[in-house]
Chain A
Amino acid sequence: MEYVLETNTLYKKYKHFSALNGLSMHVPKGAIYGFVGKNGAGKTTLIRLICGLQEPTEGTYTLYGIHSDQPMILKSRKRMGAVVETPSIYLDMTAVDNLRQQYTLLGMPSEDGIPELLHLVGLSDTGRKKAKNFSLGMRQRLGIAIALAGNPDFLVLDEPINGLDPQGIIEMRELILKLNREKGITVLISSHILDELSRLATFYGFIDGGRMVKEMSAEELEHTCRKCIRVEVSNLKVLARVLERKKIEYKIISETEADVFAQIKVTDLALALAEENCEILTMQDRNESLEGFYMSLVGGEHNA
């Protein structure tokens, strides 16, 4: 698999606090990578490092195959756009002037792309309105437009839906999907709003305490979180034997419990188990959400 970004045991220590503790992650090309973690887990710190705003205390990362300690990393950053925490926009300028600034910084030969960019993010009709009078959603979208000014292949969005109203969240989701599907932009989104991420991400990285707990594709996650029936029996060996005989997929959870991944005929199963002196104690439908999965990964003591 080709990776846009790879980090290799990254550490970032501040005076009395370690924000990253050997974080390794892999962002595949073309993915919408959901970077999941609670507040203070190290999401923004990692983004600051890859954007060049801060230097890692230890460890390295590669962006488009270029090592972070090589001078060429500055050039490879030109292929990325980012909105870190709050959108980086001049509040006393209009949307067009903000984009003109970015175009000048990038050395773009012409400003012809500005109207198209404003149309893409839905800010075509802002006219002479200054960014300080924009809603939070409009500012976010302008921030994304600025990040897109250099036609990046890789877009990094740090908590892009924080503070947005439901309409703004939907618009943001549609914009991200459009960028990914129509322009083929790889997107890294950090968020702790798991439900929203689950509608977007094709790949996930779960971070806790500055470490990567697990990386997986959306398919793998779906497989892990899929619907099942949790069955508690008096003899688990018998249950396993019966399920294998019936070619039903299952996963053993404890000494008495197993998750069964199929619509089973309860009477058939109960009779088959009874023949071998095995009792069904409890049965319940289970549908693990992304949130539930995340909580099980990080211990579940704190809110995600």
Chain B
Amino acid sequence: MRKLLRANFARLKKSTVFWVCMIVMFLLGIVLPLVHYSDKIQSHYEVPLDNGFFSYAIFVVILASVFTSLYIGTEYSDGTIRNKIIIGQKRVKIYLSNLIICICAGVFFCIAHLIPYLCIGIPLLGFFESGILPILLFMFSILIMMTAFIALFTLLSMLVQSKAISAVICLLTTFCLLLFGSFIFARLSEPEYYEGYSYTQNGITTTQEQEKNSLYLEGTKREIFQFLLDFTPGGQVIQLSGMETGHPEVLICYSLILIITTTGIGIPVFQKKDLK
């Protein structure tokens, strides 16, 4: 396993896709705090550092899908996965080493974003209003959520032997999960009542009573939607990127279940897979 990891890290250092993703995350880490600072200047409102700080969760997930599919896909398109098997490396180790390297790449993407963000953001916007512990908890939750995504992408990339197809599948999966998460989140965010209001036109005052929102989810249906939002990686991204959850520790548990499940499926299927 150490040999595989050493070889994978050496390849990572020379991977163009990896460095492009790093640069994208780094640039976002520069641009986003400047945008928030510009908002603060224009609106004259306080825009704390917390505001939009976790939006990197969305970017890192999208870039991780591109990176994982291309990094692992290259092993198939260039045929180099055969070199590993022919010299007697166990398939389970090949699978796990690819998973570990992609997780590490994801962590590097986060670091490449957070360093410039904090270096620029803290002087311009001040320190976190929420305090350091909740921020660290959210950062850890994003790390585990990202790992769940990468475990899913690794499963897809290890089982689909075409680099192009696996890249398309991973990207589509990411966007479908994000859209699904956004939809569920929007449904759960529906207000229970439309607020009452009154207006005056031609001297006549009309009053509209508070009205029940038919789209508001209640009972078991709401519980199911909440579970889907918490359990699916897409729902987790939406919640974590906007600090919209009060129970990040639950999301961590769900992500761990996803990591174990996808890897638990991926390894035996890859072990039985006929490679070309």
Contacts and interface: CB of A to CB of B under 8 A. Distances in A.
Given A88-B80, A91-B78, A101 B88 contact: no
Contacts of B79: 84-89
A97 interface: yes
A106 interface: yes
B6 to A, nearest CB: 5
B221 interface: no
A189 interface: no
Interface stretch (A75-83, A171-179, A205-213, A266-274): A75-83
Contact of A53 (B82, B87, B272): B82
Interface string B1-17: 00110110011001010
Interface in A48-98: 48, 51-55, 74-78, 80-82, 84-93, 97
Contacts of B82: 51, 53, 82, 84, 88
A123 to B, nearest CB: 17
A53 B84 CA distance: 10
A6 B238 CA distance: 58
Interface in B241-276: 272, 274-276
Given A51-B82, A53-B276, A92 B87 contact: no
Contacts of A53: 82, 85-86, 274-276
Contacts of A52: 85-86, 88
Interface residues of A, number: 36
B11 A106 contact: no
Contacts of A80: 86
Given A74-B90, A106-B87, A54 B7 contact: no
Contacts, number: 85
Given A85-B276, A101-B7, A74 B83 contact: no
B78 A89 contact: yes
Given A53-B85, A97-B14, A106-B3, A89 B80 contact: yes
B78 A74 contact: no
Nearest to A12: B274
Q: Which has the most chain A C-beta neighbours within 10 Å: B3, B6, B16, B80?
A: B80
Contact of A51 (B16, B86, B272): B86
Contacts of A101: 7, 10-11, 80, 83
Interface in B1-51: 3-4, 6-7, 10-11, 14, 16
Interface of A: 14, 48, 51-55, 74-78, 80-82, 84-93, 97, 100-102, 104-107, 146-147, 150
7 contacts: A48-B276, A53-B82, A85-B276, A88-B78, A93-B14, A105-B3, A146-B83
Interface of B: 3-4, 6-7, 10-11, 14, 16, 74, 78-90, 272, 274-276
Given A14-B274, A77-B87, A87-B79, 19 more contacts: A48-B274, A52-B85, A53-B82, A53-B85, A53-B276, A54-B275, A77-B86, A82-B82, A84-B82, A88-B81, A90-B11, A90-B80, A97-B14, A101-B11, A101-B80, A104-B3, A105-B3, A105-B4, A106-B3
